[in-house]
Structure 1
Amino acid sequence: MSDIEDEAADRFDGLAGDFAALGRASTAKLVADVLRRRIAEGYFPPGTRLPEDAIGGALGVSRNTLREAFRILTHERLLVHELNRGVFVRLLTVEEVVELYHVRRIIECAVAREVTSPPPDLDALRLEVKAGRAAARRRDWQALGTANIRFHQELAALAGSTRINEIMGGLLAELRLVFHVMADPRRFHEPYLVRNVEILRALERGDGPVAESLLGPYLDDALAQLVQAYGERAHTNRDRTS
């Protein structure tokens, strides 16, 4: 075997370790998917500490794999690591909620504004309206909130941009953390189902400016409700500690 072949063989020998790392990364992504879904469903509400031993044991994964999953979700701004305390589900501040809605307004209104003729495929938006109606009939307000979030994800997808889809996915994942502060999820989610239908109808007509004019107040109203809920929670917490 030539010196060049020997050198190439040495390089390939190192791939065995890389392959093992790929396996861990793939498992970590699956674990992150499980935890992300649990966080979105409210199983781990904001402020909850995620103990490594309990979660790793329940999922049957190593500490290193779990920590990699934690890193993924921390990068997505769903978790936060506190020195000497552990990993917690993030609890957003009012300022972060305001910023979140500011970015949503920029993206969603811009996407709606660009619609000048009926988009070729609005089936995904229609499906989320249908899912929202079904959830409301079941009085499943968590599912209604999920349908509402997916409606906005599909609205942003009308831009046909992978990057916008990724940004909106991250924003809406954070938004699920915010929704958990609402003491009455029905009062928060149900009125927006009707407004989703109005936006859909405008898009079906190809009337982007009308859809944008509906979206602006829609997002402003939702933000005002959330800010009020944050204020009420802070007031309650002060009463408990006084």
Structure 2
Amino acid sequence: MSERKSSPLGHADLWEKWKENGDLEAKKELIEKYLNIVDYVSGRLAVGLPRNISKDDLFSNGVMGLMDAIEKFDYKRGLQFETYASWRVRGAILDGLRQGDWVPRSVREKAKRIEEGYQKLEQKYLRTVTDEEMSEYLEISEKEFQQMLQDVAVMTLCSLEDPIREEESETRMSMLIDDKAKNPDHKVREFFLQESLTKGIEKLTEKERTVVSLLYYEDLSLSEIAEVMSLSPSRISQLHSKAILRLRATLEKSRNLLMQED
């Protein structure tokens, strides 16, 4: 994203006109100047999504996220607006996808089966389980297991943004971001889950950790990661699916332990 970085201080006059004076023309100019963030984020998320997902819809939802970011951003703190806006834009696009119920029930069921398999087997063996062991648990061939991972790839794109439980708003990704102070009890729970997530990442295979790191921390797309690791895009999708489903299983186990202590 280096090609599009421009500090909010570079548009200080616009931010001041909008935030201090409510100048709508200044707000409109800010939206136009930062539309490339929407283009970049929507383009990255489009990789790996089904072809029936409209890129125009992704972009439109992203624009709503950008407008929300401009509304809420505090330019006086001297923070990088692009980083803040990127999260807002990404969140708005993923919200739009979820509301559209774009993941078929069959795909959700496959993801749930794999997640449960990782949770049970890794609890049983106390180590990272192999594809062979997972295939045996699911009573399918390794080739069929790889196809399952490919099938759920589009779902795992949003997995860290999904609620830990369907009836709650707390997301897995929120545990990686300290955005506001919370009450002590919540902080203890959050720390426990965050620690569980960290341990879960440590248990991933080297390739899975690399994919997670490049995607979520280095901000590379799946196709770019494929080039870096000299693997096919489909193989990267499979590694990503396995990593996310392992992490989901780890967090769900930790969540259940917390619920038992209540």
Is the TM-score greater than 0.5?
no
Q: Which has the larger radius of gyration?
A: 1
TM-score (norm: length of structure 1): 0.29
Q: Which has the higher contact order (CA 8 A, sep 6+)?
A: 1
